[in-house]
Chain A
Amino acid sequence: MTEGGSSAMRLAGFLKKETLQILRDPSSLLLGIVMPVVLLFIFGYGVSLDPKNVPVAMVLEDSGPEARELAARFELSPYFKPQMVYSVAQAKKRVDSGAVDGIFILGSDFSAQLAKAFRAEVQLVLNGVDANRTRLIQGYGLGIIGKWLDVRRARGEGGVLPPLIVEQRIWFNESADSTNFLVPGLLTLIMTLTGTLLTALVVAREWEKGTMEALLATPITPGEILLGKIIPYFILGMTGMLLSVILGVFLFNVPLRGSLMLLIALSGLFLLASLGFGLFISSATRVQFVAAMISVIAGFLPAFFLSGLLFDLESTPRLVQMISYLIPARYFVIISQTLFLAGNVWSTLLPAAGMLAVMAIVLIGATRKKLVRRLPQ
């Protein structure tokens, strides 16, 4: 038998053993296939940065037609859900109890002021604990008032137009729906989970149980061991990824504007980098407990905080930005958001893909080196 032939046979046998190990333990399949679907389902429905039906207490001290008209606009808006109360004190109580997020006040001189000086005050007092949400709600409030003023002007009740207006266009996501950018981001998180967490323990387990020493005593080469560990998890990870894409596109209507083949190819690259990272942790620590801690600390949490998935990296201090360049998830967030929302923009995709390729090669190469170095002491 030739050298190549026996190597292929060894690898096939080893692959079979690894695959059986995965199939025997339902937790890997649960995390690799079922979790992506469940997570995407929950997140697609549940995670949104867009406030809707914000409960506010509404205090109308003025019952003139103008005041009622403006109040009605707030009531009809999908963003607000006003509750009538009769005094500011009562409204404050509702804020304290958490029943409402803010107070909308039209003072008793609202109509009079508006008639006399064209200027009147509308107060919107909000609970600012969640600053991002509060700012968005303020924006909605301003929008409603602006529209009402336009209508008044059209009826000839107003004065001059504001001289400048902003005509805004949000490319790739005209309706600024946050699901459209969160779902591609979640794909990154899900693949980091399958890539890094699933593999972080597999080599360490063999060391801890002593089976690695037995394995190294057989004619199997470190390269073959590595391939045997990568291939089954790669297939598992890609299956989870494809299911997530299908769910994102067909259930949550996230547009996939770039090519599907490209998405699959680049996901494969990212998965290799994640698998490499998990296997490297595993073979460098050789203790399952430590490998588990590190995979969470260096794998999962940075993929959440430092990938640009939710938080804008450019607004962070330079040091944090520099750390983020070491996180594979950062590059895949760019790739997946671009492919889903913008299309095949090569000038964005190529550098990111290049970085992932470098990371995959370095990490898998380093793991192989760790495997070659035989028994400690």
Chain B
Amino acid sequence: MKILQRIITLILKEFSMVLRDPKSRVVVIVPPIIQFFVFGFAATYDLTDVRYAVLDQSRTVQSRELLARFEGSDNFRLVTTLSSDSQIPEMIDTGKARLVINIPADFSLKLAHGDQAGVQVIADGRNSNVAAIALGYVTSIVQQQGRQILTRRGQLAVEPSLELINRAWFNENLVSRWYIVSALGGVISMVVVMILSSLSVAREREFGTFDQLLVAPFRPFEILIGKAIPPIVFGLFDALLLSGAAVFVFKIPFHGSVSALVVILTVFVVAVVGVGLFVSSISTTMQQALLGSFIFMMPAVILGGFTTPIENMPDWLQTATYLNPLRYVVYGLREIYLAGGDLVSVWPLIWPMACIAAVTLPLAGWMFRRRTT
């Protein structure tokens, strides 16, 4: 009973350290929510308004017909019509247009002869991902027009074609926002939890109060629990709130089970608190703790499969990502939201995080005593 009482006192003290200062209260709760919305809208690989310029050297019915398809598409926005080749470099260099569609003068002539007519498309490769996606849109529009021409000639039946029937599971319309936003709550709550927990011991070290805590009749594991509970509560609150917002605000489908969501987020938050407290326990100042948490978070975010797929990495790096707790929650959240994961199917992602927590938390508790200021 005494133990419980002592721990509760500690936890209350930790909470009051964050909540007593009005500025701290605000920064723990408000920004994660605002960020979720802003980033949720920003984080997509789908293009809506690709600015393009046109150089129509053919000026015929056929070329205008093709261009009309671009004007009718939601993915493109015409910025200007060029009159000569020499204007193309300026368009692309300055970024006024990201694509230039150049229809050569012999376009209609070739079509009339039954030859293959080329449509030249120049893309700005400074962001090659955007360029590749935009060129994909262009190709499908040009192919549609090609089909129409064949139909008119009555040749559609003799075109040797292979219909590539593309189907995608779980995300039929290939909305990349689903992929990013379903995992965004995990990333934002990690940032909050990591900062809260990494600063907690370091702050006391910097002001010398941690030594007092160590000489008080607390056992290290009691201090550990006292330090761990507040960030877990804040982190879990953020994570669950943002998970709900993903469904209700961003309309991300939720096919999985709520219990799986709660369990995976809880284990994740505990694992991150373990890392945060470990960083905190080896730091003597808040500056060191903040930098230390970044030394962990930067690679964790970028190598967590959140924005760029882990499958594209070289094998040695893929292996290294098994140590990254964010990896599991990112995959787990996607599995739960989009593929209908339940506790059984995400279990392989839960236990590694539990292992990470089981190593880092005791290590942090052990470091409390080892390192004194």
Q: Give the B-binding residues of A (Cβ under 8 A).
A: 25, 27-28, 30-31, 35, 39, 42-43, 45-52, 54, 95, 101, 114, 117-136, 138-139, 141-142, 145, 149, 152-153, 157-174, 176-178, 180-181, 189, 193, 197-198, 200-202, 205, 285, 287-290, 292-298, 300-301, 304-306, 308, 310-317, 319-320, 323-324, 334, 337-338, 341-342, 345, 347-348
24 A-B residue pairs with CB within 8 Å: A39-B299, A51-B309, A51-B311, A51-B312, A124-B164, A125-B165, A129-B179, A129-B339, A131-B174, A133-B311, A136-B132, A164-B117, A168-B120, A168-B135, A176-B131, A180-B125, A193-B298, A202-B287, A288-B199, A290-B23, A293-B28, A294-B31, A310-B129, A311-B44
Residues of B close to A131: CB separation below 8 A:
45-46, 168, 171, 174-176, 178-179
- How distant is B162 from chain A, measured CB to nearest CB, in Å? 5
Contact of A120 with B162 in the complex, beta carbons under 8 Å: yes
Q: Give the A-binding residues of B (Cβ under 8 A).
A: 18, 21, 23-24, 27-28, 31-32, 35, 38-39, 41-51, 66, 92-95, 111, 114-133, 135-136, 138-139, 142-143, 145-146, 149-150, 155, 157-172, 174-176, 178-179, 188, 191, 195, 199, 203, 283, 285-288, 290-292, 294-295, 298-299, 301-303, 307-309, 311-314, 317, 334, 338-339
Contact of A170 with B294 in the complex, beta carbons under 8 Å: no
Beyond A46-B317, A181-B126, whether A31 also contacts B294 by CB under 8 A is yes
Tell me the bound Cα distance from A229 to B129 in angstroms: 39
Residues of B close to A101: CB separation below 8 A:
311
Contact of A127 with B23 in the complex, beta carbons under 8 Å: no
Tell me the bound Cα distance from A123 to B167 in angstroms: 8
- How distant is A54 from chain B, measured CB to nearest CB, in Å? 7
Q: Which of A165, A178, A202, A314 contacts B116 (CB 8 A)?
A: A165
Residues of B close to A158: CB separation below 8 A:
160
Which of chain A's residues has its CB closest to B75's CB?
A315
Residues of A close to B168: CB separation below 8 A:
125-128, 131, 134
Which of B28, B38, B145, B166 has most chain A Cβ within 10 Å? B166
Q: Which of B119, B127, B149, B317 contacts A165 (CB 8 A)?
A: B119
Residues of A close to B166: CB separation below 8 A:
124-126, 138, 141
A-B contacts besides A25-B288, A49-B128, A119-B159, 5 pairs, CB < 8 Å: A49-B312, A162-B146, A164-B119, A201-B287, A289-B203
Beyond A27-B291, A128-B171, A168-B123, whether A287 also contacts B179 by CB under 8 A is no
- How distant is A285 from chain B, measured CB to nearest CB, in Å? 7
Contact of B45 with A132 in the complex, beta carbons under 8 Å: yes
Beyond A201-B290, A342-B126, A345-B94, whether A149 also contacts B167 by CB under 8 A is no
Beyond A118-B159, A136-B132, whether A45 also contacts B164 by CB under 8 A is no
Q: Which of A129, A197, A287 contacts B21 (CB 8 A)?
A: A287
Residues of A close to B128: CB separation below 8 A:
49, 170, 173, 176-178, 180-181
Which of chain B's residues has its CB closest to A180's CB?
B128
Tell me the bound Cα distance from A121 to B117 in angstroms: 26
Tell me the bound Cα distance from A45 to B315 in angstroms: 10
Residues of B close to A27: CB separation below 8 A:
283, 287-288, 291-292
- How distant is B358 from chain A, measured CB to nearest CB, in Å? 25
Residues of B close to A132: CB separation below 8 A:
45, 129, 133, 176, 179
Q: Which of B43, B95, B164, B294 contacts A305 (CB 8 A)?
A: B43
Which of chain A's residues has its CB closest to B104's CB?
A167
Which of chain A's residues has its CB closest to B47's CB?
A315
Contact of B42 with A292 in the complex, beta carbons under 8 Å: no
Residues of A close to B121: CB separation below 8 A:
166-169
Beyond A119-B161, A163-B146, A198-B291, whether A316 also contacts B132 by CB under 8 A is no
Q: Which of A142, A165, A306 contacts B38 (CB 8 A)?
A: A306
Residues of B close to A345: CB separation below 8 A:
93-94
